[in-house]
Amino acid sequence: DADVTQTPRNRITKTGKRIMLECSQTKGHDRMYWYRQDPGLGLRLIYYSFDVKDINKGEISDGYSVSRQAQAKFSLSLESAIPNQTALYFCATSDRQGNQPQHFGDGTRLSIL
């Protein structure tokens, strides 16, 4: 089983819809991150969480919200999806010290029509 699992893997939806992307991990890591990747670009940080009670905005948080339901679960919501949020979304985890590599899920490909 994958250490970091993202659901769904693919999603097509319409402008204005509310969408939730989910991430769960079995690494036992405290830190979790949401990134988005656009074609030809690197990944950009949306939100990150150090534990259940600590959630922080990243570089491009506008239009997104998150929820850390448990240490192992971190979900990303698009309250009212717009076409320029079409992208590949990745969840990642890391240990508390940040001395080990970040571990990534396989991504969710989101298309907003």
Binding site for another protein (CB under 8 A): 4, 31, 33, 35, 40-45, 48, 50, 56, 58, 90, 92, 94, 98-107, 109
Contact by Cβ (8 Å): 46, 60? yes
**What is the nearest approach in angstroms of another protein to the Cβ of residue 78?**
20
Q: Which is nearer to another protein, 10 or 84 (CB)?
A: 10
Nearest approach, Cβ of residue 16 and another protein (Å) = 27
Smallest Cα–Cα separation from 30: which of 65, 74, 60, 67?
74
Q: Please, what is the minimum distance in Å from the beta carbon of residue 15 to another protein? A: 25
3-class state of residue 85 by DSSP: helix
The CA-based angle 32-34-36, given to 5 degrees, is 155
